[in-house]
Amino acid sequence: MVISPAITTTTVPSSRICVRCESTMIVTYDELECLLCGYVDYTYTPPVRLRPKSILSTGTRYVLRYVGDSKSLSETLTYVKLKRLRNRVVFGVKCPFCEKRMDQSSLSGKRREVREERYKCESGHRVSLLPKKDGSMGWK
């Protein structure tokens, strides 16, 4: 087996190959992430660039407490991260059950009164993010 020579280039490639499923990874909000299996390369360092400061700091991680009725889930935490999607700021949600990336699933039918955002992961887990009275968020 031949070990390839060390890469001497200083430019960061815009895409890499996922070590888990070998599909192409893409850079999402300063992280190298595989959209297929949700693998995140935390060793990736984004290229330094100038970013305007905004009120909502993207990249901030939040820990959400369970607010539903299930006792067995009361200690389970859900991690979310604010990220920018075009001109909106959305939540990047990590599945509390399998730690995969979750996608927002649209609320079908009528609009609910509670501002509830639903997410699901590729394994079929579903969570809802709910605003709490004190202004923070919870999940169930």
Residues in contact with Zn ion by CB under 5 A are 18, 20-21, 34, 36-37, 39, 95, 97-98, 100, 121, 123, 125
How far is Cα 126 from Cα 105, in angstroms, rounded to an integer?
9
Beta bridge partners of 92: 81
19-30 burial string, b = 16+ CB within 10 Å, else e? eeeeeebebbeb
Nearest distance, CB of residue 137 and Zn ion, angstroms: 19
- CB of 36 or CB of 67, closer to Zn ion: 36
Nearest distance, CB of residue 69 and Zn ion, angstroms: 20
In 18-111 the beta strands, taken as DSSP E runs, fall at 24-28, 31-33, 40-41, 61-66, 78-85, 88-94, 101-104
Nearest distance, CB of residue 113 and Zn ion, angstroms: 27
Q: Which amino acid is at 103?
A: D
How far is Cα 111 from Cα 96, in angstroms, rounded to an integer?
26
- CB of 39 or CB of 44, closer to Zn ion: 39
Nearest distance, CB of residue 76 and Zn ion, angstroms: 12
- CB of 20 or CB of 112, closer to Zn ion: 20
